[in-house]
């Protein structure tokens, strides 16, 4: 009888638990079912899309696919503020998320919003880019603008942004939400170090202008904040005089510590190269031959005898910017810098190209990869900041040990100054 009594008491508890779970599920279902209807009542200049939004569940990483409940195509900054304020007012209980999507080049689903709202930043009406010349030139741009377009517009005034990413077909808001690093970062810092002012929509739907002097906490939180502290809608980017031409140099190393030491030496110099980057290459067959179409070896005979098969090699990539009439002086500067380095002598290759062609070089590679169906492969990439004191140990443990084949993706090494 005692056992039977316990069994009888368990039944109502189980029934109550099941009923409670059912009620929660129904409540959650009602929340999401009423969500699209509530959006339709909002006064926005743009429009919402509730169907066929699979594109917003894809990004360059191609590893995560979360379909949103809706995509907002804003026409104005107030549209973005309206939707974020709407979600804020619903409170955390709604579990609704929002994400800004630019060119969809993120890797870890950063621009996706499972069952939430994706804001298509590229549909934002782009106010005319305003280039301000003078002693401290800058350009005001929409966050949905591509860096390649900014480059071409600024070049009309003989100017260009100071710091870049290697790939320019990305939005301003996208790279400023991360960092924006390339071979110029050792001198100018990443792109987030070259911003004078931002317009931001906060998590409450407030539109704020921020800078070092105004709303500084918001300014520093949003730059490199991965979209967690607000959505960048406009930016003021620092500019500098733009060169017309580039001397482009590649040399190889077989020893990582020597390669890293030379990188660190170059970024410590006052008069050095304008772009310094590194590339790790493992099991790259016919490496030198692949360069010959666009680079000239200093010593063709020695270069033809160099064998790269099966070796872990480290490429130091360098550039010097110049204008017509300055070639002789730039050549002299290069000739004074190269003897300070300990690369493999037979692997010195040089090329000369326009400033625009160098900056946009990855786009040409993109077109080739797209033609072969390789651009949309999964990209489980990882970015790490490793201190100088640990870099050789890191390389010893990873390069050629954990990593034995880099044919499916690049391994880049950027030397940066902590103070930048």
Which residues are part of the catalytic machinery? 105, 166, 277
Evaluate whether 83 touches 35 at the Cβ level (below 8 Å): no
Q: For residue 94, give Cα distances in angstroms to 32, 35, 114, 407.
A: 8, 9, 13, 45
Q: For residue 175, give Cα distances in angstroms to 229, 234, 265, 278, 327.
A: 15, 13, 28, 21, 33
Query: What are the helix (H) ranges across 127-201?
Result: 147-155, 172-176, 185-188
Rounded CA-CA distance 409/374 in Å is 11
Rounded CA-CA distance 396/290 in Å is 27
Rounded CA-CA distance 69/53 in Å is 8
Helix (H, G, I), strand (E, B) or coil at 408: coil
List residues bridging with 295 in a β-sheet: none
Rounded CA-CA distance 227/241 in Å is 31
Evaluate whether 68 touches 57 at the Cβ level (below 8 Å): yes
And the tokens for 303? 């270069």
Evaluate whether 84 touches 203 at the Cβ level (below 8 Å): yes
DSSP code for 360:
T
And the tokens for 167? 């790939």
Rounded CA-CA distance 137/147 in Å is 17
Rounded CA-CA distance 303/292 in Å is 10
Angle at 353 between CA 349 and CA 354, to 5 degrees: 155
Helix (H, G, I), strand (E, B) or coil at 123: helix
Evaluate whether 197 touches 236 at the Cβ level (below 8 Å): yes
């Amino acid at each position: 009888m005692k056992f039977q009594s316990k069994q009888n008491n368990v039944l109502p508890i189980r029934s109550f638990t099941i009923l409670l779970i059912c009620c929660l599920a129904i409540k959650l279902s009602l929340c999401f079912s009423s969500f699209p209807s509530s959006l339709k009542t909002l006064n926005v200049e743009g429009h919402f899309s509730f169907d066929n939004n699979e594109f917003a569940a894809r990004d360059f990483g191609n590893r995560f696919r979360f379909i949103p409940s809706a995509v907002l195509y804003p026409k104005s900054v107030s549209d973005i503020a309206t939707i974020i304020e709407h979600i804020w007012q619903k409170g955390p209980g709604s579990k609704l998320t929002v994400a800004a999507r630019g060119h969809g080049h993120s890797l870890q689903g950063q621009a996706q919003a499972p069952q939430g709202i994706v804001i298509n930043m590229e549909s934002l009406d782009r106010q005319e880019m305003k280039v301000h010349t003078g002693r401290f030139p800058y350009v005001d741009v929409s966050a949905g603008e591509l860096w390649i377009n900014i480059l071409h517009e600024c070049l009309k005034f003989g100017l260009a942004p100071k710091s870049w990413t290697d790939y320019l077909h990305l939005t301003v808001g996208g790279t400023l939400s991360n960092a924006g690093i390339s071979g110029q970062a050792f001198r100018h810092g990443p792109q987030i170090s070259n911003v004078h002012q931002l317009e931001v929509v906060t998590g409450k739907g407030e539109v704020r202008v921020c800078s070092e002097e105004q709303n500084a906490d918001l300014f520093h939180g949003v730059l490199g904040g991965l979209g967690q502290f607000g959505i960048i809608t406009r930016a003021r980017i620092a500019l500098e005089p733009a060169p017309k031409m580039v001397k482009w140099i590649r040399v190889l190393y077989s020893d990582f510590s020597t390669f890293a030491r030379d990188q660190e030496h170059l970024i410590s110099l006052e008069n050095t190269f304008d772009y310094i980057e590194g590339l790790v290459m493992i099991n790259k067959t016919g490496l030198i031959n692949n360069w010959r179409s666009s680079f000239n070896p200093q010593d063709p005979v020695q270069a033809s005898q160099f064998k790269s098969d099966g070796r872990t090699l480290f490429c130091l990539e360098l550039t010097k910017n110049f204008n017509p009439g300055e070639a002789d002086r730039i050549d002299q500067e290069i000739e004074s810098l190269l003897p300070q380095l300990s690369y493999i002598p037979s692997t010195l290759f040089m090329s000369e190209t326009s400033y625009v062609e160098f900056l946009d070089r990855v786009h040409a590679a993109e077109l080739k990869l797209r033609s072969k169906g390789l651009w949309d492969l999964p990209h489980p990439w990882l970015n790490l900041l490793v201190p100088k004191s640990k870099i050789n140990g890191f390389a010893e443990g990873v390069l050629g040990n954990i990593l034995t084949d880099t044919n499916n993706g690049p391994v880049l090494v950027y030397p940066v100054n902590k103070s930048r």
